[in-house]
Structure 1
């Protein structure tokens, strides 16, 4: 198989935006990537390189550009000293291609390879990462983005990707050990202090007055939740988790991004030439910081008036659930420090699990023989009620499907939001709907990786 690395270069040595519309290799239906040890400069140009695990030796890994409805073959080599897999997060792949070791495929042993073959049904922004020793492998750098191109994209001047990750680094700039800390697993997870944009600390991202940019935001952090504000700019959300929504401005001007979530926004650059405007993450109280800046180039605006073109993306072929005939099911999240249920407090930390779903804990990354919490007949419409009885936030990810978010705490969710990862605040209850059309055993889990590894995971079967 020919090696076809699809990484698109950064805009400059200090500027990290990835242009997702750079020329694509003709006939690139075969891709070959390798998970292997590497070195990367995470903390800045003046800091030493860190030992990482990376796809093709790069953090993040190659940006994979696929076409909607066209088959793709991706050969993954494992050059690590432990098992790995790849999960194609948000892409509705066949069950055998989902990348959960034991549950959907054998793990890829050191020195071995696995061929993933699928046809992406949906256009949008997705990503890929391991599902074997996921906490450490993702935490050491194994992540990359996937852009599935629309057949008829909206008109913009540039299409850019920002993939965020955070890192816990030592004074020497290396990735700190201590993955799987039980106290962190019972609280908010492993949150690092160094945040990178496309693999490096970003001082500024180049823009031009008058241009319209499609910005694809991906949160590849282990646990960090982000709330992004664009100083003196008005982003319009056009897609969530790869799925088009009704274009709308984010509530309060903050774009919420839980781990594993993606949000596509359109930004009209109406700032002044030669000025810079902050992009701020202020999710955690009292800990706001600047992620980067929109750095305007000198010179006249690209156009005298704002770009006059539609913002609505073409819908993907998602099967609509029949809400009038839908089965209803409930799943309740419990545990963690200060949480509800029998796993709460320090007592639950003495064993392997500190979280439960409907009273059951599944720890680790997935394995053969996982008992489904629920079984759905193929072709049935499902309304699933998720209740968070814990004191902590949870981005809950469902494999193999996208779901329509119906209500949150009894209030209808506007803008027709289809997602694969729903961010739940403490004590939240959400209703989501989907058609159970993709057969197999599918994981539902929290994407705060410490939470998943410590029990906040289950299996839903479509038979």
Structure 2
């Protein structure tokens, strides 16, 4: 068998003394190959009338049997292939002994067909069926999954490809759909129970005291401050490779799912992160990745070497492989494992599998406390100097992107600050950091966490956030992180995609300036595994976030936690505020980096109630979900 990592040279030599098979078990699952490559395509359904049946089943992963929930007997569920402009009827039959549902992730459908029990429809009872029927208004790469219980974790997910009604601006000769996922022998209920008892249960890479003290790349005071807060810099992922096997199209790393091509072809890869809890860093060593689509929306082609894909995001790539095999690497963000596949011109070919890279550790920036060039700056409040705001507005290319709207709490929106460079921030009048620490303590009555003169639980920075044990920290000075590559990718030595690189291929459909701005804080208590928006969890009695039909609103997502969150809104797309004017990238899901701000504009053009949530499954289940209610014009408040 051909070597897949450098260390396998050891195996090759050991084979001479009969140790090859025995020693192979010492290598991690992603570094072993027991299959010469599975080349079977995903099962596909299409047409105007489609039947889907949800049922329990077993599945084989790396030669082992796992329990799962499949659709039409497969995990992932069948690829649904549609065409823009058609009408489709999807009859979904529930053969489980519990309620189920299907949400068409990223598709613009009527609210009653969006598939969220308790929000837009009652769900599908055991033994019953439900007819989803809607016009297909878009094209691109999307996916579908259960919104009932935690069934996604068990395999209830599948891809959607919608072909454009006219010519496709993306030129390619062959395509492959790649569905990334994570699967565990534990039930979702068992995983969630362990997280509630001990949020670090699955973190086998956590920092020890000796390891913390031994870090020479971090000042001693900073290391001790982490310890005071009882927070672990290695706490990057809640659920890890200690229980997960990371999958490509339902196959583990040893299965080695293989995508075939002919040398010289332009190969389109439609990549979907359908995992429950895993952010992946994706690369194909030896190939340049041309990004052509994000969340189903065409973008100007952009060459990168690697990109981070959050749960529920999709990216389309075009690659031009030569007559050789290549390893597709989707490395878990915490480096606890990888999903792995092969691109090859012929079955049975293998390429080297790179070793897992060094685990990332959270930094002061992830705590919302990394402010380069702070010398001489005053920071007692979060208002901005009008001249600095005007400069920031002009940098955004006009009123359509100017962060000048008034927020609901009467303050300048965080997005205005987020768009400024450090040189512009230097002109801001903010009082002293020491004063901020003292005044906030007196005003709130909370001692909170304190690092130097900065307080980590100052509700003066987030007056709308509910004062609750579920809010452990509030970032003292969150910053725009839309130009960051994502945790673990800051110094990899090659080109990594960042959100600010994305530019819409077509002009945005609505380029009006926002009429108002709304700050939404991502809040949580990592020690107790509690998650929320503005300190408020989803409850049986909806407390919706209201919007009026047709209004244009700027949303500032402010991450007060030390974990990244992929935030998704149903029924709408939004435009990221990254300085690209009327060609801002349009998405339905965005990763909000820890201690960071993600700003987007959207048009509330779909009347009804819509789910709005973190797409980390157990964060959503623990409370990080709300309802967005778009009310008709003229309706009573």
Report the TM-score, using the length of structure 2 for normalisation: 0.59
SS at match of 2:277: coil
SS at match of 2:89: strand
Q: Deviations over 1:21-69 (max 9, x none)?
A: x8x86xx20111010111211x22xx24322111111001111111112
> Contact conserved, 1:321 with 1:435, CA < 8 A, in 2?
no
The structural deviation recorded for 1:185 is: 9.2
Report the TM-score, using the length of structure 1 for normalisation: 0.80
Q: 1:52-91 counterparts in 2 under 5 A?
A: 52-91=68-107
Match of 2:542 in 1: 370
Match of 1:7 in 2: none
> Contact conserved, 1:16 with 1:197, CA < 8 A, in 2?
no
Alpha-carbon spacing, 1:414–1:189, altered in 2? closer, same or farther (3 Å): farther
SS at match of 1:139: helix
Q: 1:88-107 counterparts in 2 under 5 A?
A: 88-107=104-123
Match of 1:384 in 2: 555
1:35 equivalenced with 2:49 (yes/no): no
The structural deviation recorded for 1:443 is: 1.2
- Stretches of structure 2 that go unaligned for 5 or more consecutive residues are 1-34, 202-234, 348-501, 632-637
The match for 1:326 among 507, 511, 515 is 515
1:454 equivalenced with 2:506 (yes/no): no
The CA distance in 2 between the partners of 1:281 and 1:167, in whole Å, is: 15
> Contact conserved, 1:319 with 1:435, CA < 8 A, in 2?
no
Q: Which has the higher strand share?
A: 1
The CA distance in 1 between the partners of 2:329 and 2:581, in whole Å, is: 26
Match of 2:342 in 1: 293
The match for 1:214 among 263, 268, 273 is 268
Q: 1:235-254 counterparts in 2 under 5 A?
A: 235-250=289-304, 253-254=305-306
> Contact conserved, 1:238 with 1:313, CA < 8 A, in 2?
no
The structural deviation recorded for 1:243 is: 1.0
Q: 1:203-352 counterparts in 2 under 5 A?
A: 203=256, 204-250=258-304, 253-269=305-321, 271=322, 273=323, 275-287=324-336, 289=338, 291-297=340-346, 319-323=509-513, 325-337=514-526, 345-346=527-528, 349=529
> Contact conserved, 1:381 with 1:434, CA < 8 A, in 2?
yes
The structural deviation recorded for 1:397 is: 0.6
The match for 1:178 among 181, 190, 202 is 190
> Contact conserved, 2:153 with 2:188, CA < 8 A, in 1?
no
Q: RMSD across aligned C-alpha pairs, in angstroms? A: 2.8
The CA distance in 2 between the partners of 1:127 and 1:257, in whole Å, is: 14
Match of 2:391 in 1: none
* Greater RCO structure (CA 8 Å; 6+ sep): 1
The CA distance in 1 between the partners of 2:73 and 2:508, in whole Å, is: 35
Larger Rg: 2
Match of 1:150 in 2: 164
1:418 equivalenced with 2:586 (yes/no): yes
SS at match of 2:618: helix
Alpha-carbon spacing, 1:267–1:218, altered in 2? closer, same or farther (3 Å): same
> Contact conserved, 2:246 with 2:337, CA < 8 A, in 1?
no
- Stretches of structure 1 that go unaligned for 5 or more consecutive residues are 1-11, 299-311, 338-344
Q: Deviations over 1:280-323 (max 9, x none)?
A: 2345355464612222339xxxxxxxxxxxxx999689631412
SS at match of 1:451: helix
